[in-house]
Structures are given as structure tokens and as C-alpha cells.
Amino acid sequence: MTYVVNEACIGEKDLSCIDVCPVDCIYEIDEMVVIAPDECIDCSLCEPVCPVDAITPAEGVPADQRPFIAINAAWGDGREEVERLLAEHRASSG
């Protein structure tokens, strides 16, 4: 399992989650942060500190936010891939 940052982070990017993550697996891109799923240890510490409830367990990602599972996971392929998927999602969701 992993935790996932969803669209609510965009425009907020509070960064409290980065402060509490014990394994430093939350990474900042221009518009939001993402969680590297292969590094996350599922401690759940980030979830309650987010002021906009942008972080949920992967199983709890709302249906309309499912693309963010792949957007977070793309960190493993590099920042550019995260940005590309994010732009693609925005274009498709209008």
C-alpha cells in the first residue's frame, strides 16, 4: 500500500506533510507534492497534517482522483513524467 496526494494539493502545497514524513518520500514539483509509492512505509503521519485533506491511502482515493495514483507513482520515472501526466489529466478533465 501507499499514500497518494490528490488534486486538492494544487494551489495549497502546504508542505507540512514533508516535515512529518519519517522516510522523506514526499517530493515537491511546481504545483503540488507527490508520494513515491516504493518508498512510502504507510505510517499515515502525513494524512492528518494536510490542511486540505489531499492525502489518502491508495485504497481510499476518491473515484474522480484515481489518475493521481499514477501521477504520484510516476515519480519513479522522473519529475518530467509526473508533470506530463498531470498536464494530460488536466487536459482531459477540462
Distance in angstroms (rounded) separating the CA atoms of residues 92 and 60: 22
Stretch that binds ligand SF4, among 7-15, 43-51, 60-68, 77-85 (CB under 6 A): 43-51
Q: Which is nearer to ligand SF4, 1 or 87 (CB)?
A: 1
Q: Which is nearer to ligand SF4, 26 or 86 (CB)?
A: 26
- Give yes or no for residue 25 binding ligand SF4 (CB under 6 A): yes
Contact 14, 68 (CB under 8 A): no
- Give yes or no for residue 77 binding ligand SF4 (CB under 6 A): no
- Residues lying near ligand SF4 in the complex (CB under 6 A): 3, 20-21, 23, 25-26, 35, 40-46
